Amino acid sequence: MEEAVDNAVDLCIKENILADILIKCRSEVASMLLTEFDEKLYKKSIYREGYEDGHELGVSEGYERGIDEGHRRGVSEGYERGVDEGHQRGVSEGYERGIDDGRKRGKQEGFDEAREQAIRSSISMLKSIGMPDDKAAALIAKNYSIQQEEISDILKKYK
Protein backbone atom coordinates (compact mmCIF):
# COMPACT_ATOMS: atom_id res chain seq x y z
CA MET A 1 0.00 0.00 0.00
CA GLU A 2 2.85 2.40 0.85
CA GLU A 3 4.37 1.76 -2.53
CA ALA A 4 1.08 2.65 -4.26
CA VAL A 5 0.86 5.93 -2.29
CA ASP A 6 4.52 6.77 -3.13
CA ASN A 7 3.86 6.04 -6.81
CA ALA A 8 0.74 8.21 -6.76
CA VAL A 9 2.60 11.11 -5.14
CA ASP A 10 5.45 10.75 -7.68
CA LEU A 11 2.99 10.76 -10.56
CA CYS A 12 1.19 13.85 -9.27
CA ILE A 13 4.52 15.70 -8.92
CA LYS A 14 5.57 14.60 -12.41
CA GLU A 15 2.20 15.73 -13.86
CA ASN A 16 2.44 18.99 -11.89
CA ILE A 17 -0.66 18.21 -9.87
CA LEU A 18 -0.30 19.94 -6.51
CA ALA A 19 3.45 19.52 -7.07
CA ASP A 20 4.52 22.44 -4.86
CA ILE A 21 2.54 21.10 -1.86
CA LEU A 22 3.59 17.48 -2.42
CA ILE A 23 7.27 18.41 -2.65
CA LYS A 24 7.12 20.37 0.64
CA CYS A 25 4.79 18.01 2.54
CA ARG A 26 5.37 14.66 0.91
CA SER A 27 5.71 12.62 4.09
CA GLU A 28 2.68 14.26 5.78
CA VAL A 29 0.48 13.68 2.70
CA ALA A 30 1.63 10.06 2.38
CA SER A 31 1.08 9.47 6.10
CA MET A 32 -2.38 11.05 5.95
CA LEU A 33 -3.31 8.90 2.91
CA LEU A 34 -2.11 5.77 4.60
CA THR A 35 -3.89 6.43 7.90
CA GLU A 36 -7.08 7.73 6.29
CA PHE A 37 -7.37 4.91 3.77
CA ASP A 38 -10.56 2.92 4.28
CA GLU A 39 -10.22 -0.49 2.64
CA LYS A 40 -13.95 -1.27 2.84
CA LEU A 41 -14.80 2.03 1.18
CA TYR A 42 -12.15 1.35 -1.46
CA LYS A 43 -13.56 -2.10 -2.22
CA LYS A 44 -17.05 -0.67 -2.30
CA SER A 45 -16.02 2.00 -4.81
CA ILE A 46 -14.20 -0.57 -6.97
CA TYR A 47 -17.27 -2.78 -6.85
CA ARG A 48 -19.50 0.16 -7.78
CA GLU A 49 -17.28 1.11 -10.73
CA GLY A 50 -17.31 -2.50 -11.94
CA TYR A 51 -21.06 -2.67 -11.51
CA GLU A 52 -21.58 0.53 -13.49
CA ASP A 53 -19.25 -0.66 -16.27
CA GLY A 54 -21.03 -4.03 -16.37
CA HIS A 55 -24.45 -2.39 -16.33
CA GLU A 56 -23.52 -0.07 -19.18
CA LEU A 57 -22.18 -3.00 -21.21
CA GLY A 58 -25.30 -5.05 -20.43
CA VAL A 59 -27.58 -2.23 -21.55
CA SER A 60 -25.62 -1.91 -24.80
CA GLU A 61 -25.69 -5.65 -25.50
CA GLY A 62 -29.34 -5.88 -24.47
CA TYR A 63 -30.17 -3.04 -26.84
CA GLU A 64 -28.46 -4.82 -29.75
CA ARG A 65 -30.26 -8.07 -28.94
CA GLY A 66 -33.52 -6.18 -28.71
CA ILE A 67 -32.94 -4.61 -32.12
CA ASP A 68 -32.26 -8.06 -33.61
CA GLU A 69 -35.30 -9.64 -31.96
CA GLY A 70 -37.52 -6.71 -32.89
CA HIS A 71 -36.35 -6.95 -36.49
CA ARG A 72 -37.05 -10.69 -36.61
CA ARG A 73 -40.52 -10.18 -35.14
CA GLY A 74 -41.17 -7.30 -37.54
CA VAL A 75 -40.15 -9.39 -40.54
CA SER A 76 -42.36 -12.25 -39.38
CA GLU A 77 -45.38 -10.02 -38.73
CA GLY A 78 -44.75 -8.07 -41.94
CA TYR A 79 -44.64 -11.34 -43.86
CA GLU A 80 -47.94 -12.50 -42.35
CA ARG A 81 -49.60 -9.17 -43.12
CA GLY A 82 -48.19 -9.30 -46.65
CA VAL A 83 -49.62 -12.78 -47.16
CA ASP A 84 -53.02 -11.60 -45.89
CA GLU A 85 -52.96 -8.50 -48.11
CA GLY A 86 -51.81 -10.54 -51.10
CA HIS A 87 -54.54 -13.09 -50.46
CA GLN A 88 -57.21 -10.40 -50.24
CA ARG A 89 -55.95 -8.77 -53.44
CA GLY A 90 -55.87 -12.17 -55.15
CA VAL A 91 -59.44 -12.96 -54.07
CA SER A 92 -60.61 -9.56 -55.30
CA GLU A 93 -58.83 -9.83 -58.65
CA GLY A 94 -59.93 -13.45 -59.03
CA TYR A 95 -63.51 -12.40 -58.34
CA GLU A 96 -63.34 -9.68 -61.02
CA ARG A 97 -61.79 -12.12 -63.52
CA GLY A 98 -64.50 -14.65 -62.69
CA ILE A 99 -67.19 -12.06 -63.37
CA ASP A 100 -65.55 -11.15 -66.69
CA ASP A 101 -65.22 -14.82 -67.68
CA GLY A 102 -68.81 -15.47 -66.61
CA ARG A 103 -70.05 -12.52 -68.68
CA LYS A 104 -68.15 -13.73 -71.75
CA ARG A 105 -69.44 -17.25 -71.31
CA GLY A 106 -72.96 -15.98 -70.67
CA LYS A 107 -72.87 -13.78 -73.75
CA GLN A 108 -71.59 -16.67 -75.87
CA GLU A 109 -74.22 -19.05 -74.50
CA GLY A 110 -76.91 -16.41 -75.02
CA PHE A 111 -75.71 -15.84 -78.57
CA ASP A 112 -75.63 -19.59 -79.26
CA GLU A 113 -79.14 -20.05 -77.84
CA ALA A 114 -80.51 -17.10 -79.85
CA ARG A 115 -78.85 -18.45 -83.01
CA GLU A 116 -80.30 -21.92 -82.45
CA GLN A 117 -83.71 -20.39 -81.77
CA ALA A 118 -83.47 -18.35 -84.99
CA ILE A 119 -82.47 -21.46 -86.95
CA ARG A 120 -85.35 -23.50 -85.48
CA SER A 121 -87.78 -20.67 -86.16
CA SER A 122 -86.54 -20.30 -89.72
CA ILE A 123 -86.87 -24.03 -90.41
CA SER A 124 -90.31 -24.07 -88.81
CA MET A 125 -91.41 -21.15 -90.98
CA LEU A 126 -89.98 -22.73 -94.17
CA LYS A 127 -91.66 -26.04 -93.37
CA SER A 128 -94.95 -24.24 -92.79
CA ILE A 129 -94.87 -22.99 -96.37
CA GLY A 130 -94.23 -26.52 -97.61
CA MET A 131 -90.46 -26.57 -98.10
CA PRO A 132 -88.91 -30.00 -97.52
CA ASP A 133 -86.50 -30.41 -94.54
CA ASP A 134 -83.38 -30.93 -96.64
CA LYS A 135 -84.00 -27.84 -98.78
CA ALA A 136 -84.87 -25.73 -95.70
CA ALA A 137 -81.65 -26.93 -94.02
CA ALA A 138 -79.57 -26.09 -97.14
CA LEU A 139 -81.08 -22.59 -97.40
CA ILE A 140 -80.54 -21.88 -93.71
CA ALA A 141 -76.97 -23.25 -93.84
CA LYS A 142 -76.23 -20.84 -96.68
CA ASN A 143 -77.83 -17.82 -94.94
CA TYR A 144 -76.26 -18.50 -91.50
CA SER A 145 -72.88 -19.65 -92.92
CA ILE A 146 -72.98 -22.97 -91.06
CA GLN A 147 -72.71 -26.63 -92.05
CA GLN A 148 -75.89 -28.62 -92.65
CA GLU A 149 -74.69 -31.16 -90.06
CA GLU A 150 -74.85 -28.43 -87.41
CA ILE A 151 -78.44 -27.71 -88.43
CA SER A 152 -79.22 -31.42 -88.14
CA ASP A 153 -77.68 -31.49 -84.67
CA ILE A 154 -79.77 -28.47 -83.61
CA LEU A 155 -82.94 -30.06 -84.89
CA LYS A 156 -82.19 -33.36 -83.14
CA LYS A 157 -81.81 -31.52 -79.81
CA TYR A 158 -85.34 -30.14 -80.04
CA LYS A 159 -87.34 -33.04 -81.46
3-state SS, one letter per residue, for 141-152: HHHHCCCHHHHH
Average pLDDT (60-84) is 93
Average pLDDT (73-92) is 93
Task: Identify the DSSP state of 110.
Answer: H
pLDDT bin (cut points 50, 70, 90) of residue 65 is very high
The burial class, CB within 10 Å (0-12 / 13-18 / 19+), for 88 is: exposed
Amino acid 146: pLDDT: 84
Give the mean pLDDT of the chain: 87
CB 12 within 8 A of CB 22: yes
d(CA 110, CA 98): 18
